[in-house]
């Protein structure tokens, strides 16, 4: 069973350092199975690193840039979105004080000229700290503060409160 690597997320720099250290140990004469066991990886991974090192040198062990498309909305603009949402729908010309995914998609288009579907907005908002609650989007509560409402009470987000 592989051991825990000592970090939660995949850190490209740490993984690259691990590959380079494994090749140094392999050059000193250690077996691939010993290296794999001590690093908590498969023997095939060590063999793959060795093949890349043989073919491309130390450049073959370097981390690769992240693949996939670039996000449509830049990080600095995405960081501005929660403050725009906090102003409430009325401040952006909507009649009722309820945020819907459609309205947020319209807001993103009008402010940043980036078109997102309402379905994608539903996946995007939790990543910036907003949650769905009774037909509207709300900022997430801090995790260390307990709710002061009684079990039977329900509130709907109203802008300006």
Residue 148 pLDDT > 60, yes or no? Answer: no
Banded model confidence at residue 9, pLDDT cuts 50, 70, 90: low
Which one, of 86, 67, 98, lies nearest residue 139 by Cα? Answer: 86
Q: What is the CA radius of gyration of the chain?
A: 25
Q: Spell out the domain ranges in the chain.
A: 12-61, 75-139
Instruction: Average the pLDDT over 69-87 and give the result.
Output: 91
What's the whole-model pTM score?
A: 0.52
Banded model confidence at residue 81, pLDDT cuts 50, 70, 90: very high
d(CA 65, CA 118): 30
Banded model confidence at residue 4, pLDDT cuts 50, 70, 90: low
pLDDT in tens, 86-144: 999 999 998 888 888 899 999 999 999 999 999 999 899 888 888 877 667 777 766 55
Residue 150 pLDDT > 80, yes or no? Answer: no
Residue 12 pLDDT > 90, yes or no? Answer: no
Residue 146 pLDDT > 60, yes or no? Answer: no
Angle (deg, nearest 10), helices 32-39 and 12-27: 150
Residue 14's contacts (CB-CB under 8 Å, 6 or more residues apart) are: 5, 7
pLDDT in tens, 22-55: 999 999 999 999 999 999 999 999 999 999 999 9
**Taking the CB of residue 146, how many other CB atoms lie within 10 A of it?**
8
Instruction: Average the pLDDT over 67-89 and give the result.
Output: 90
Instruction: Write the secondary structure of 29-64 as one string of H (helix), E (strand) and C (coil).
Output: CCCHHHHHHHHCCCHHHHHHHHHHHHHHHHHHHCCC
């Amino acid at each position: 069973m592989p051991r825990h690597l000592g970090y939660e997320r995949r850190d490209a720099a740490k993984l690259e350092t691990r590959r380079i250290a494994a090749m140094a140990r392999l050059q000193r004469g250690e077996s691939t199975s010993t290296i794999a066991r001590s690093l908590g990886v498969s023997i095939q991974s060590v063999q793959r690193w060795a093949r890349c090192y043989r073919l491309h040198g130390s450049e073959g062990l370097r981390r690769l840039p992240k693949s996939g498309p670039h996000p449509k909305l830049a990080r600095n603009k995405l960081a501005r979105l929660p403050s725009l949402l906090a102003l409430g729908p009325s401040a952006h010309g909507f009649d009722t004080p309820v945020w819907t995914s459609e309205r947020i998609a319209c807001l993103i288009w009008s402010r940043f000229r980036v078109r997102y579907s309402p379905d994608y907005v539903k996946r995007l908002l939790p990543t910036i700290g907003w949650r769905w609650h009774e037909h509207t989007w709300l900022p997430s509560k801090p995790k260390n503060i307990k709710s002061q409402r009684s079990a039977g009470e329900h509130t709907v987000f109203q802008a300006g409160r």
